[in-house]
Amino acid sequence: MSVLAGAMVACNSATDNKKDAADAQNPFFTEFTTLHGTYPFESIKLEHYMPAFEEGMKQQMEEVNAIINNEEAPTFENTIVALDDSGELLNLVASVFYNLTSAETNPQLDSLAQVLAPQLSAHSNAINLNEDLFARIKVVYEQKDNLGLNQEQMMLLEDTYNGFAENGANLSPEDKQRYNELSTKLSGLTLDFGQNVLKATNGWSKLITDEALLAGMPEDVKGMLRSNALKKEQEGWLLDLKPTCYVPAMKYLDNRELRQEIWTAHNTIAGDGEFSNKNNAIEIANTRMQIANLLGHKTHADYVLKNRMAENKENVYNLINQLSEAYMPAAQKEYQELQQFAQQLGFDAQIQPWDWSYYSEKLKNERFSISDEVLRPYFKLENVKNGVFGLATKLYGIKFTKNDKIQVYHPEVDAYEVTDENGDFLAVLYTDFHPREGKRAGAWMSEFKGQWKEGEVDSRPHIIIVMNFTRPTEDKPALLTYDELTTFLHEFGHALHGMLTKCTYKSLSGTNVYRDFVELPSQVMENWASEKAFLDEFAVHYETGEKISEELIQKIKDAENFNAGYACLRQLSFASLDMAWHTIETPFEGDPVKFEKEAMKPTDVVPAQPNTALTTSFNHIFAGGYAAGYYGYKWAEVLDADAFSLFQENGIFDQATADSFRRNILEKGGTEHPMVLYKNFRGQEPQIDALLRRNGVK
C-alpha cells in the first residue's frame, strides 16, 4: 500500500467516524424510548431532517430492490405486504416534518421543504414507475381470485395494483419519463402555492390607533388585537387576516369602509405581488390535466373520481345541480330579507359581500336573540374539551388522560393517553388550539403515526387535531364561538376515525378512505352541538357557573337553519370552482379571475366583486388533497344527515347505534368500499331527504 493510499484510508475512516457520531446524535436513527414510542420533539433539530430523509429514501429503495430480487415467485406476502411495510424510516421523518410545516413552521423548514419536494417526488416515481416491481405486483393481481384472500387483503391488493397503474406503471419508457417530469413539477408548484398563501396572509396587517374605528367589535377580540400590537411593539390594535380577527371583523365592525378593506384583503390573498399564485394555479391545473391525459383520462376529475364514492364527474355535477335547485330559492329569499332588514336600519345601498355577515348577525340576533357573544361565556375551551371527550366516553367508552411526560412540539400543545372501555391503551391524542405565526389557517386532523398490526401486536396510532381558536386574554379564558364548537367536534370526529381504527395494513387504516367518505365521521359529530343532552354536560357560564338554559339551547336549534340556503350555495360555489379547474380538457391560458367568476356565477347569491378571487388562496384544491373533491363536503353532509337520523330515531347516546357506527365505519378504515360500509351501518344507501329536512328546505 502506498503512503498516499494509506492517507486516503485514514481520511475516509475519520469521515466515517464523524458520520457515525452525527448519526448517533440524530434521534431518527435510534429507536424512540419515549412513552408509546412518541416523537422526542425536544431532541429533534433542523439538521436532523435531511440526513434522515436521505437515509429513509435509501432504505426504502433497498427494501423495494429486495422485493424485486426475491428469487421466490411473487406472492401476496412477499410482494404486496412487503411493499406496504417498506419505508418505515421515511414515513417516520416525513410525518413529523410535514405536520410541523403546517402547525409550527419557520423559514428554515419552508426552505428545506422546497429542497425536498423534487427529491421525494423523484423517489416516489422511482418506485411507482419501476417495471420489475410492477411486474411482480401484476402476477399477484392476476391470481387474486385464486389466492383465498380475505376482504382486507383483497382491498390492499387492488389498491396496490391500481395505485401503480394510475401512477404510470403501464406507460411506455418515454411516457414514464414525461410523467416523472410532470409529477416533480406539480410537487413543487403545490408546495409554492401553500407557502405563498401563508406568507401573503401573514404579510397583511393594519394598525388601528383610533379605538372608535373598532366600534361594534367585542371587547375580548379587541383585547386580542391589542395583544397582537404589543407583540409587534406597536401601540393600538393590530388587525390581521387570521380567522380569529377576520371572522369577528366581518360580523361586528360597524365601520363599513374598514370591513370592505379587510374583506378585499382576505379575498385577494396571493392575488398579486411577490406572493402571487395566479400563475401557480394555472400551472397546477394544466399539469394535473397533462398527467391525467398521459394516464388515459380526459380530465383530472375523470382520473380522481375513478376512486371515489361519486365515481364520475356526472354524478358530482348531478349532486351540485340537485342541491342548487333545492336551495337557491331559499338563498335568494334570505338575501331579499337581509336587504330589507338592512334598509330598516337605515342602510341605503345594495348588500355586498362585506355586509353579509354584519347584517346577518344582527338579523339573527333580532330573530332569535342569540349571537356569538351571548353564547361564548358558556363555551369555555376547557369545558368544551371535557364535553367533547365526554361525548366519546358516552358513545364509545373511551377515556382521555393528559400526560405531561409525552413530549410536544410547542408549549401550547397538550398530549393525552387514550384508553378504551377496558382500560387498554388505544392512542395518543395531541391537541393544538390557538393561532401562531408559524401555523397555517383553518383546522385539521392529522397523524404522527398510523395504526397497523404485526402478528399479534396492534401498533396503535398517534393523532393530532389542530385549530385556530380565539386565544385567552389577560382577563378572560379562551371562549369559543358556536362555530368553533362545531369545528372542534368536526376535527374530533376525524380523530375518532384515526384512533378507533382496527386494521391490519397501515395504508388502509384510519382515515385512509375515499376522499368523499372521509368527512362522514367528522361531519356527523357536528350534529351533537345543538343537542340539549350534550350541552347540559359541559356548557356553564365561565363566571357564574350557571348552566346554559333550555331557552338558549332552543334558540340555537331555531337558529341552526338561519341562512341555510346561502351557506349551501356558498359551499356549492367552491365545489363548482374546483370542478371547473379540474375538468379543463385543453391547457388553460386565460384570466383565472374571469374563469372563476364564470364558474361560480350559477351559485352566486351576493353580487360578485371584480378583481377578487378565491382561486389564488384555495389551499384545499391547489395545495391540499381536495382537487376535484371539494364536493365531498356536501356529499358527506348528505351522508351525515342520513346517518344521524338513525341516532335521532334510537337516541343520541344509543349504545347499539354508536357500536354499529364504530364497528362498521370507524374501525374499518378503507378495508371495504365505503358504500358497503355505509349500508352495513345504515341498512340502505344514503338519501338526500334527511339533509333537506334538517335544513328546513323540505
For 439, phi then psi, to 5°, come to -110, 130
Q: Which candidate, 450, 504, 619, places its Cα nearest to that of 94?
A: 450
**DSSP letters of 105-164?**
--HHHHHHHHHHHHHHHHHHHHHHT-HHHHHHHHHHHHTGGGTT--HHHHHHHHHHHHHH
- Assess contact for 211 and 179: CB atoms under 8 A: no
- Give 419's DSSP letter: E
Residue among 415, 432, 573, 414 nearest 491 (CA): 432
What's the 3-state SS for 310-354? Answer: CCCHHHHHHHHHHHHHHHHHHHHHHHHHHHHHHHHCCCCCCCCHH
Selecting among 334, 417, 491, 672, the annotated active-site residue is: 491
The three state secondary structure string of 172-203 is: CHHHHHHHHHHHHHHHHHHHHHHHHHHHHHHH
Distance, in Å, from the CA atom of 636 to the CA atom of 628, rounded to the nearest integer, reads 15
The residue assigned the cell 361531519 is 523
Three-state SS string over 586-644 comes to: CCCCCCHHHHHHHHHHHHCCCCCCCCCCCHHHCHHHHCCCCCCCCCHHHHHHHHHHHHH
491 is catalytic: yes
Place of cell 407557502: 195
90 touches 56 (CB < 8 A):
yes
Q: How far apart are the first and last CA of the chain?
A: 91
The two beta strands, 457-459 and 452-454, are antiparallel
Kind and range of the H or E run holding 375: helix 372-375
DSSP-derived letter for residue 270 is: T
C-alpha cell at 314: 356526472
Are 58 and 64 in contact by the 8 Å Cβ rule? The answer is: no
Task: Please give the positions annotated as active site.
Answer: 491
